[in-house]
Structure formats: C-alpha cells, structure tokens
Structure 1
Amino acid sequence: MRAESHAQPFSHRCRVYYEDTDAGGIVYYVNYLKFMERARTERLRSLGFAQSQLVGEDLLFVVHSSEARYLSPARLDDELLVSADVIEIKRASLRFRQQVRRAGDGELLCEGRFLVACVRAKSLKPRPIPESLRAAFVESGLPPAGE
C-alpha cells in the first residue's frame, strides 16, 4: 500500500557540530544517516512512542536497507531540517522517505529511503507492527492498508 501526499509533514531540527564535519568543515557523508536516524526516532516520539518504551515491549525497529543521494554539502553550524515521512506501511515494516535541507535557505542537501523492519528485541525475529502504532500513523495522515 502506498501513501500519497496525505500524511502530515514531519521535520526534526538539528545543528551541524564540529564533530559532524571532516577537515574541510563539510559534513562527513555517513553523518547524514545519523541525522535521518534521529529524525525517524523523533517521528515515532511525536506519535507517542519512545524507543525505550518499545524495547520494553519486546519491539525494535532495525534498518533493513537504505539508499541515499548526496546533492550539496552541509557545513559547520548549519541548521538542518530533516524529514521522516512514512510512505509505506506493511505488516512488519515501514518505508521512510527522508530529506535533509538547510533551514536557512531550504536547499535540499541529501535525500534517502529506508526500509525499517519491526522485530522482537530478544530474538530479532520479525513481528507485526503493533496496532496502536499503525493507528497512530493512520491518524497522522497515512492511509490504512489496502487503500
């Protein structure tokens, strides 16, 4: 099932620190993945689901696959807006489309897609996404399965 543009946009603000950059003051490429991971975590939190709570319920979200395109560099002290839009929800996985933009001018710096699997914390075996979390995504604008 595919979501169109019904979902409410989500964006996480962060700043580029010295530790995020290379010797030239440009964000090291792998750090964009960290920024996007944080945005996915904050997306869940915005729906009322903290990662620490989910682990206690024998649930983890793990990245199954990722894809990133780097378009323009972020630099030291840039403020970034990192989106985390769920574009597909299946029985035991979420597909996110994410963008990193410079807050000052809105320039698109990096974009990616991530397939995130829902697994049991203890065994790391797939498990269904809890109905309460699925409902929270639907209430935020993601169409229910089959639509």
Structure 2
Amino acid sequence: MEVRIYYEDTDAGGVVYHSNYISYMERARTEFLRTHGLSVREMHDMGIIFPVVHIDANFRAPARLDDLLVVRTQIATLKNSSFTVAQQVVRKEDDKLLVEAKVTLACVSPEMKARRLPNEIRELFARLLEENG
C-alpha cells in the first residue's frame, strides 16, 4: 500500500511523527486483508475482531514531507487465536527501509473474549505463511 506524506504527518522537525507510522501500518493491514478477500467490516459484523495486542517497531530512518512510502505486509506467525504480521515501511523512490515492525493481533468476540481464528481465515493465513516461506 502506498502512502504520501503530507504536512499534517510531520512534526516540528519536518519528519513524520512516529505514531503516524502505526496508522499507516493499520491501513496497510486492512488493505492486505481486503486483497485476500477479507473485509474488516464484514468480519466485525460476524463478531470477528482483531485488536492489536503487541507492536515491536524499529524506526530506522525518517520520512519527510512529500515522500511516497510503501507499506509491505505479510503473515509472520500463526497461532490458534492470534497471528503476527511483519510490516515494512520503505520510501518508494529508493526502497530505503524506514520502519520495520512485528504486530500481533488477537482474534476476539465483540465482548473482547479470546476466540479461535475461524477455519477459513486460519487456512488462508497458513497458506500465505507457507508462501512467505
């Protein structure tokens, strides 16, 4: 997924404020799911919710005003009721790695109680994990 950096994304130093990367990665995860036939809204309506429970992020280099970034997302690990995605934010112009993160999401009910990943989602994630090999 591509993200253009606007003035509102930057801090007083003229670089992207660190918490904005979390938003970019959230959008990229939603688009990743959409690309693989999963609608976050439809899953939510079916009582399948994926809150973030852990983020491990390494900020390597800054993005600046008007940069075009690419956020890459792939399944990194898969458990019965959670999964982890590996995400990278790179500057498109030179493919420079700016941020890399591992984001763990749990599968919960609307009452925020842990639940197993539905079989069709688990099978999809297992296939994608295998492809990442």
Structure 1 residue matching 2:130: 3-state secondary structure: coil
State how far apart, in whole Å, the 1-side matches of 2:64 and 2:27 are: 18
After superposing on structure 2, the runs of 4+ consecutive aligned residues of structure 1 that deviate more than 3 Å are none
Residue 143 of structure 1 is matched in structure 2 by 130
- The answer to whether the 8 A contact 1:39-1:82 is kept is yes
What are structure 2's unaligned runs of at least 5 residues?
Answer: none
State how far apart, in whole Å, the 2-side matches of 1:114 and 1:71 are: 17
- Cα offset, 1:67, TM superposition: 0.9
State how far apart, in whole Å, the 1-side matches of 2:130 and 2:122 are: 10
- The answer to whether the 8 A contact 2:78-2:126 is kept is no
- The answer to whether the 8 A contact 1:47-1:137 is kept is no
The residue type paired with residue 48 of structure 1 is G
State how far apart, in whole Å, the 1-side matches of 2:55 and 2:129 are: 21
State how far apart, in whole Å, the 2-side matches of 1:21 and 1:33 are: 14
Q: Higher helix fraction: Structure 1 or Structure 2?
A: 2
Structure 2 counterparts to residues 62-141 of structure 1, below 5 A: 62-121=51-110, 123-139=111-127, 141=128
What are structure 1's unaligned runs of at least 5 residues?
Answer: 1-11
Q: Deviations over 1:1-36 (max 9, x none)?
A: xxxxxxxxxxx1111112111123210011111111
CA RMSD of aligned residues (A): 1.4
State how far apart, in whole Å, the 2-side matches of 1:138 and 1:124 are: 24
Q: Deviations over 1:40-85 (max 9, x none)?
A: 1111111111111011100110011111111110011111111111
Q: TM-score, normalised by structure 1?
A: 0.84
Higher relative contact order (CA 8 A, sep 6+): 1
Percentage of pairs with the same residue:
41
Residue 26 of structure 1 is matched in structure 2 by 15
State how far apart, in whole Å, the 1-side matches of 2:126 and 2:106 are: 18
- 1:61 has 2:71 as partner: no
Structure 1 residue matching 2:28: 3-state secondary structure: helix
- Cα offset, 1:89, TM superposition: 0.8
Q: TM-score, normalised by structure 2?
A: 0.93
State how far apart, in whole Å, the 1-side matches of 2:126 and 2:80 are: 14
The residue type paired with residue 104 of structure 2 is L
